[in-house]
Structure 1
Amino acid sequence: MDVSPLVWGLTIVGIIGLLAFDFFFHVRQAHVPTLREAAIWSAIYVGIAIVFGLGLLWFGGGQMGSEYFAGYITEKALSVDNLFVFLIIMASFRVPREDQQKVLLFGIVFALIARTGFILLGAALIKEFSWIFYLFGLILLLTAGNLLKGEDEDDDAANNFIIRAAKKLFHTSDRYDGDKLFTMENGKRVMTPMLLVMVAIGGTDILFALDSIPAIFGLTQNTFIVFTATAFSLMGLRQLFFLIDGLLDRLIYLSYGLAAILAFIGVKLILHALHENNLPFINDGEHVPVVEVSIGVSLSVILGVLLVTVLASLVSPAGKAHSVVANARRTAVAYLDEQHTADPVERERLYQALVHGHEQMMQLDEKYRAPALEDEKLMTLIDRARVAHSEALSRGEVPPPTHTQH
């Protein structure tokens, strides 16, 4: 099905409108979104994506609708994995909780612009050079292998070449000035960490596009579907970040599931490349008769792998223990960091979350509880947070607790 310029135009205007609405009604005023707010708007954006897909199914037919949903689900799963890296970057830059929404929205807009460029480039390459499917397939297989290796992403996530160059070339400040990108320091105009973290998020998004775009081109070569599935997978990512912030560590098998999906799509791409082959050193430039994987099979495999991965993570005792300990550590660090938030209500919420996390840690099975209690750095953090909270209570800097603490 060919998509008319009018439909393209309306779709782009609609996406820009959603982004503008998100900025003016949610992000412009710095605040920490509640769990309820994040849940409602996450559901709304997923609902919009599903309605759009049903529209494609109705007007474009089963093939077009199935390709969209396969692409959307794959890109959404990859975007959830990307949230781990966003969390690391914002923790590295100590972004105040109230301003994290603006950083995430910038990341989404930058990702959409960058990936649109990759999509147009990919579509042009595919049209002219069918052998590009071999390259896309190889990229996905290598990415799957890297996911299985479990590379540590915190080592240099927020200190890449762009950031180091920016710090050398420009005057930069070590402190935030609200959500301003520039501020005055000692009479000079300097960049704030807010601008640097946005650059870090944007640069990371470009790296993410190197595997996400080949992945969706492995499911469909319809440029309209590739663009819309990618765009709608990014919409609502900001709200999803705050909704599943505490659950990210629980999904301990997500990387394995994503590795399986990317490897599957990589093999599918190589099979398609063999079917369309015109390289002279492969089968004398003739098409190779191989089995091609249908979009129905692809959609079933993607859904099945994600379902098994998520359920296995949620029911795994190791996953629960890892999540409890990681959340307690992150909450203690956030509470002790005065730059994390200036909102006394949010600070009290953090402390209560830490108290609850410590209680959960004490209820873990012995084989998981013992290593946590023997972690001197973690226990020191928790003790420091308790002392800091007692002192803040005595000074009246945080509201008194509304329930009995244990």
Structure 2
Amino acid sequence: MDVPLWVWLATIGAMIAILAIDLAIVDHPWSKKSGPKEFGVKQAGWWAAFYIGIAIIFGFGVWYFGGSTAAGEYFAGFVTEKSLSVDNLFIFYLIIGSFAVPKKYQHEVLLVGIVIALVMRGIFIAIGAQAINAWSEVFYLFGAFLIYTAVKIVYDHVKQDDGDQDFTDSFAVRMVKKVWPVTDDYHGAHLTVVQNGKRYVTPMLMVIVAIGVTDLVFAVDSIPAIFGLTQDAYIVFTANAFALLGLRQLYFLLAGLMDKLAYISWGLAVIMVFIGIKMLLHALHENGVHVPEVSIGMSLTVIIGVMVVTIVASLLKARYDGKKAESVDAGK
């Protein structure tokens, strides 16, 4: 789509306004008496539905102004990025659990994580768009990288099951600890405190550092994926932004289901392989090789189909495991 500068500015301004309204309503930053509050499941559900709703409405707007092809690219990109964001939530869940973040401060940590993710992805979108315009062969690199990403997703999933990941001892966290001493306890939402005349950083800053590094890794993984579906920078940006908006509400909504979505990483791996192959075919086609190309309609069908099968299979497994555990307890 040929998107004028004022539309870009208006879109970015609207994103900032939505985040500001979210912050004002949920966190009550002006209120010194109330302080941070725990985020309820019902509240999270309403907010998650709101964000998904405005993402869908925006998609219909793309359809109206840009046509069905642009809308198909947007929805395929949104579903893919939302799926990757859910996988991102699993890592956030592990990080927050590793650092034992009090529940009333978790939504503040997630908000910072989302803002960092938006900035990271904006930078990588700009880099990716320039790379594609300057060098069409970059699709070979992106395609191979996505297939590698699929393998890494499965490996990381297995590693998490083995309990080998310790986010409190990551490289970035160790580097911060070498520069500043860290307090043992949280001091509200403060990132630093002064104790005995000396500046300390709090575990809250350590959490943000760990999440920031995670956002960087996921930005590297997710941007090639959506460029495999569309090369329109505006669609890439908006699909990513709407996938990230409402992510912290979705975290609290899915917190009780984290252990039940056992196959989510496998589904994402399949999607990454599919998009990687799509990109390789596109690169071959661009270089004069007569190979079939995957349509955006087929892409959207495969992506939604894989995620539906993945979620249903995960819930069925959770139900089976629950019944199996009950039968074992009954037999004792």
- TM-score of Structure 1 vs Structure 2, range by shorter chain: over 0.9
Is the aligned partner of 1:62 residue 2:24? no
- Aligned partner (choices 105, 108, 117) of residue 111 of structure 1: 117
SS at match of 1:94: coil
SS at match of 1:250: coil
Is the aligned partner of 1:263 residue 2:263? no
Cα displacement (A) at 1:129: 0.7
Hey, what's the Cα distance between the residues in 2 that align with 1:223 and 1:151?
34
**1:180-195 alignment runs, 5 A limit:** 180-195=190-205
Cα distance change, pair 136–370 in 1 and its aligned pair in 2 (3 A): farther
Cα displacement (A) at 1:30: 1.3
Over the aligned positions, Cα root-mean-square deviation in angstroms equals: 1.8
CA contact (8 A) 1:85 1:157 kept: no
> What's 2:53 paired with?
47
Question: Structure 1 vs Structure 2: percent identity of aligned residues?
Answer: 51
- Deviations 1:142-176 (CA, angstroms, capped at 9, x unpaired): 11122334431451334221110000111221111
> What's 1:308 paired with?
309
CA contact (8 A) 1:173 1:185 kept: no
- Deviations 1:76-127 (CA, angstroms, capped at 9, x unpaired): 0111111111011111111111000000000000000011000000000000
> What's 2:295 paired with?
294
**1:42-191 alignment runs, 5 A limit:** 42-149=48-155, 150-153=157-160, 155-191=165-201
Hey, what's the Cα distance between the residues in 2 that align with 1:39 and 1:248?
15
Cα displacement (A) at 1:321: 6.2
> What's 2:32 paired with?
none
CA contact (8 A) 2:98 2:166 kept: no
SS at match of 2:231: coil
Hey, what's the Cα distance between the residues in 2 that align with 1:321 and 1:251?
13
**1:191-340 alignment runs, 5 A limit:** 191-277=201-287, 287-316=288-317, 319-320=318-319
TM-score by length of 2: 0.93
> What's 2:6 paired with?
6
> What's 1:388 paired with?
none
Is the aligned partner of 1:36 residue 2:46? no
Cα distance change, pair 225–370 in 1 and its aligned pair in 2 (3 A): farther
CA contact (8 A) 2:191 2:202 kept: yes
Gap runs ≥5 in structure 2:
30-34
Hey, what's the Cα distance between the residues in 2 that align with 1:167 and 1:227?
35
Query: 2:313 is matched by which residue type in structure 1?
Result: A
Query: 1:152 is matched by which residue type in structure 2?
Result: K
> What's 1:24 paired with?
24
Larger Rg: 1
TM-score by length of 1: 0.76
Cα distance change, pair 225–158 in 1 and its aligned pair in 2 (3 A): farther
SS at match of 1:219: coil
CA contact (8 A) 1:133 1:269 kept: yes
- Deviations 1:332-374 (CA, angstroms, capped at 9, x unpaired): xxxxxxxxxxxxxxxxxxxxxxxxxxxx896x233xx599x9x
Hey, what's the Cα distance between the residues in 2 that align with 1:273 and 1:158?
41
Hey, what's the Cα distance between the residues in 1 that align with 2:95 and 2:203?
12
Hey, what's the Cα distance between the residues in 1 that align with 2:301 and 2:199?
55
SS at match of 2:169: coil
Hey, what's the Cα distance between the residues in 2 that align with 1:88 and 1:185?
29
Gap runs ≥5 in structure 1:
278-286, 325-359, 374-406
Hey, what's the Cα distance between the residues in 2 that align with 1:321 and 1:15?
42
Cα displacement (A) at 1:250: 0.6
CA contact (8 A) 1:173 1:192 kept: yes
Tell which has more relative contact order, 1 or 2 (C-alpha 8 A, sep 6+).
2
Hey, what's the Cα distance between the residues in 1 that align with 2:149 and 2:226?
14
> What's 1:365 paired with?
327
